[in-house]
Amino acid sequence: MMDMHCHIDLYPNHDEILNDIKSTGFYVLSVTTVPSAFEGTRNLTLGIKHCRTALGLHPQLAHQRKNELVIFDKLVSETRYIGEIGLDGSRGFKEHFDDQIKVFRHILKKCESYSDKILTIHSLNAVDDVLTCLHEYPNAGKPILHWFLATKRQVDTAVHLGCFFSIGPAMLYSDRAKKVISWLPKERVLLETDGPFAKVNGRILFPSDTDMIIPFLSAQWNLSTLEVTKQLGSNLKKLVT
């Protein structure tokens, strides 16, 4: 199985998260929020099979850390994975939207220089703008829309653009999120935790917790849990090959 969006460097106890990854053998994508954190975060998981580190600049930090695009450009060739990137139109961040757009477009344009990038993308309260940018830079890589909250029309547009979608256990506690999950084609679904930020019953999620969503998908897709697991494995293989 997998966790395609996990902030390993931000867990309060690194030994705990690293032991979880080692014991499960799950494919884990360790995302970063600023380029200057990439090398240190990558060093945390050196030697752990099936763990990859993504190079990111989070939209909520874009206005403060846009100067780190120089670092991003220097490091972008060192990883196939890019994230967390994107846009955030929430209160407190929308006022910096111009900086977010500049940073996001810069990253997408830079990624178009390569042929194999995989992007994990934040789109909270900014779905249309994210989709517009992906349309403008169709060769940036394979987009994964993380914790995607959207309308049916927006989901259809994202599917048309070739997006994958990473969903996690915490989403099952939202009727809106469950509705969005019901619209996703099963061939494009991946799993995530968004730990340590996402929690269930007050407990921080770990990569091994992605299993919690399997029974829901089994009922949603009318497949056995084994068939769901096989489908998800096939989706991951399609993403990374």
Render pLDDT for 167-196 as a digit per residue (tens, 0 to 9): 999 999 999 999 999 999 999 999 999 999
As a whole number, mean pLDDT of residues 33-41 equals 98
Q: Where are the alpha helices (DSSP H) in the chain?
A: 14-24, 38-44, 62-65, 69-75, 97-111, 127-136, 152-160, 175-183, 214-221, 225-240
How many angstroms separate the CA atoms of 59 and 104, rounded?
Answer: 8
How many angstroms separate the CA atoms of 161 and 116, rounded?
Answer: 16
Domain residue spans of the chain = 2-240
Say whether 144 sits in a helix, a strand or coil: strand
Q: Residue 28: what pLDDT?
A: 98
Asked whether the bond before 196 is cis by omega within 30 degrees of 0, the reply is yes
Q: Residue 117: what pLDDT?
A: 98
What global pTM score does this model have?
0.97
What confidence tier does 59 reach under pLDDT thresholds 50, 70, 90?
very high
Q: Does CATH number 3.40.190.10 belong to domain 2-240?
A: no
How many angstroms separate the CA atoms of 239 and 241, rounded?
Answer: 6
Q: Residue 22: what pLDDT?
A: 95
What are the φ/ψ torsions at residue 35 (nearest 5 degrees)? -60, -35
Whether the Cβ atoms of residue 189 and residue 235 lie closer than 8 Å to each other: yes
Q: What is the mean pLDDT of the chain?
A: 97
Q: Residue 217: what pLDDT?
A: 98
Q: Residue 24: what pLDDT?
A: 93
pLDDT, one tens digit per residue, over 210-230 is 999 999 999 999 999 999 999
